[in-house]
Structure 1
């Protein structure tokens, strides 16, 4: 990490070692490593004796209201433990801030590969690449098929009106961030996109469990062939609501031949344009065939996804300017967010079919 003191803000070795000893018994080996690929909630890899654990906790410092709720994340992972949706095994949740200075939860570390910047060699055939896409869509369909009442998530959210509230929520997050970021530059296109979304919210046709951040690099594929999703991560934004918002979000991060260079290249890989990967149209077709649900109002849902990503980027920049992160991605949002906002505004105005 660029700041050697940052890990010390995330974890106090003595208090956490005492907690682990009380929960799991003593261990001869104890080490903690920060997972540098995460850009929202913090992920820590912990070795405790012969156990490999993962800790999820919020970032330090002030954050927007309702962001980074790791105990909510734990609740849904725990509820899905015995369903068709693959999740890491949850172990403990803790709201005692005397341990780490925040809420946190612990799960078992899963084994496999996350496809973030490239493919593992075993997945480089056209057939494996096609399977990667179909597995991803089928896993999303499985999430949307969960009987959330029967798994104890009936009170997990207010599904009615979810889509309109998403526009309101991310507008509020943007306004929170702009209190800091407008000191260095304005993003009028982002405001215009928010106004378009508020005026074009479609009727919500179905209610399901939604992940809120479902995309290729938030799932893990197993270490064998054919490709198979073995774990879904990063449930911090999950709730009950409109499943088409999840599909729109996935498509924002799915690159295909002919697309412009990604607006946020550190977060948007391009290897899915290679031979064998499904196109976005094919992913939509698979989703519709699997769920029986039409992806109506595609322009709205894809624009909402870009607006949400721009909001997250603006929040990242605000945390950077406030000194609450050492993540090298965050300062890049000074230019990345305006680029994404400009493209999204052009998309909703009909000037382009591609984000």
Structure 2
């Protein structure tokens, strides 16, 4: 007989535990029974992910916003749940959503529950080195093929109607992240000035959006669950998903996808720098073939993604400096240097 255990993970404010009412709600919407163990999953810099397991070994995943949120609009549980609920029936690889709870009295904030997608999440080089070189070579093309599949879906056909004009996605993103950065207080004013100047340069060079699709918003290697053979099990982390210009996703993937000669992205995920991984430009060519576009178009979106990631990381550092790390013990000490490098990349010609 398996031993019984009861382990309540403390929430990020250091005071509130999962209440008995919260545990009962979790059991009522899942197949989990009896005593539950709740563990904070590694790697979360924004919305927090908890793995919940019962004594039989069954598990589910809980997602909630961080505490002490500085940038308020990026942590909408309803958005994540809506996209998962729309995509899951199509066969696109996402975890199956179970239920969402808007009652903040249970754990102090809205949250939702989904099935656990089991497999590999490659967060660093050490994990990537456990895979054969031939497997590493398959991962990039598989991520690109999955992204192209997402962008081929008609949002309206799966009840993901845009709430605003999707053709204004890029200018809205610029306005949104400029507004978010303007709220930070732990950086010098020169940084805000630089972010604003680079954003205005990107606005002046902004292409016309001619294709509308589902935009994940943060599509990268460690937001994907893989099999041991390098195929995609599930795409995670839909907290900033939207309907808009899908080329933003391939540009963001390129920002995170570090080639062997790159030096700046080790601070986020340097896994793709080791032998075997497909080069960034080859991934752009593959995406362009699948979506029948000119690969040269992607370079603007890579610059845009560099700027956006700099804004995101500014918000992460601000939260950590204010003591709202969400239980993540990893360091953001190198992020200011990475932010500077990303802002420089955002101004660089291809």
Is the shorter-chain TM-score for this pair beyond 0.5, marking a shared fold? Answer: yes
- Following superposition, the deviation at residue 324 of structure 1 comes to 2.1
Q: How does 1:259-278 map to 2 (within 5 A)?
A: 259=262, 261-262=263-264, 264-269=265-270, 271-278=271-278
In structure 1, the partner of 2:169 is 162
Q: Following the alignment from structure 2 to structure 1, what is the Cα–Cα distance between the partners of residues 214 and 143?
A: 16
5+ long unaligned stretches in structure 2: 1-8
Q: Following the alignment from structure 2 to structure 1, what is the Cα–Cα distance between the partners of residues 11 and 242?
A: 34
Q: RMSD in angstroms over aligned alpha carbons?
A: 2.4
* Residue 23 (str. 1) matches residue 29 (str. 2): yes
Q: How does 1:84-103 map to 2 (within 5 A)?
A: 84-103=91-110
**8 A contact 2:267–2:338 mirrored in 1:** no
**8 A contact 1:160–1:241 mirrored in 2:** yes
In structure 2, the partner of 1:73 is 80
**8 A contact 1:41–1:57 mirrored in 2:** yes
**8 A contact 2:38–2:50 mirrored in 1:** yes
- Following superposition, the deviation at residue 99 of structure 1 comes to 1.1
Of the structure 1 ranges 201-210 and 145-154, higher mean CA displacement relative to structure 2 is found in 145-154
Q: Following the alignment from structure 2 to structure 1, what is the Cα–Cα distance between the partners of residues 332 and 20?
A: 30
* Residue 255 (str. 1) matches residue 258 (str. 2): yes
User: Per-residue displacement from partner, 1:271-295 (whole Å, max 9, x unpaired)?
Assistant: 3233332211110111111111334
Aligned residues: 338
- Three-state SS of the structure 2 residue aligned to 1:6 is coil
User: Per-residue displacement from partner, 1:16-47 (whole Å, max 9, x unpaired)?
Assistant: 21222443477233111111211110001111
Structure 1 residues 184, 35: closer, same or farther in 2, change over 3 A? farther
In structure 1, the partner of 2:41 is 35
Match of 1:204 among 205, 209, 212: 209
Q: Following the alignment from structure 1 to structure 2, what is the Cα–Cα distance between the partners of residues 297 and 11?
A: 49
TM-score (norm 2): 0.88
User: Per-residue displacement from partner, 1:39-79 (whole Å, max 9, x unpaired)?
Assistant: 11000111134320100000012332311112110110111
- Following superposition, the deviation at residue 188 of structure 1 comes to 4.1
Q: Following the alignment from structure 2 to structure 1, what is the Cα–Cα distance between the partners of residues 208 and 191?
A: 32
- Three-state SS of the structure 2 residue aligned to 1:278 is coil
In structure 2, the partner of 1:46 is 52
Structure 1 residues 295, 175: closer, same or farther in 2, change over 3 A? farther
**8 A contact 1:170–1:307 mirrored in 2:** no
User: Per-residue displacement from partner, 1:138-187 (whole Å, max 9, x unpaired)?
Assistant: 0000110112112111245531211121111111111122xx12359745
Q: How does 1:1-355 map to 2 (within 5 A)?
A: 6=12, 8=14, 11-24=17-30, 27-50=33-56, 51-118=58-125, 119=127, 123-125=131-133, 127-155=134-162, 158-177=165-184, 180-182=185-187, 186=191, 188-223=193-228, 225=229, 227-259=230-262, 261-262=263-264, 264-269=265-270, 271-325=271-325, 327=328, 328-345=330-347, 347=348, 350=349, 353=350
Structure 1 residues 9, 41: closer, same or farther in 2, change over 3 A? farther
**8 A contact 1:57–1:103 mirrored in 2:** yes
**8 A contact 1:87–1:232 mirrored in 2:** yes
Of the structure 1 ranges 15-24 and 79-88, higher mean CA displacement relative to structure 2 is found in 15-24
Runs of 4+ in 1 over 4 A off after TM superposition: 7-11, 119-122
- Three-state SS of the structure 2 residue aligned to 1:197 is helix
**8 A contact 1:190–1:338 mirrored in 2:** no
Structure 1 residues 187, 158: closer, same or farther in 2, change over 3 A? closer
Q: Following the alignment from structure 1 to structure 2, what is the Cα–Cα distance between the partners of residues 25 and 254?
A: 38
In structure 1, the partner of 2:6 is none
- Following superposition, the deviation at residue 81 of structure 1 comes to 0.8
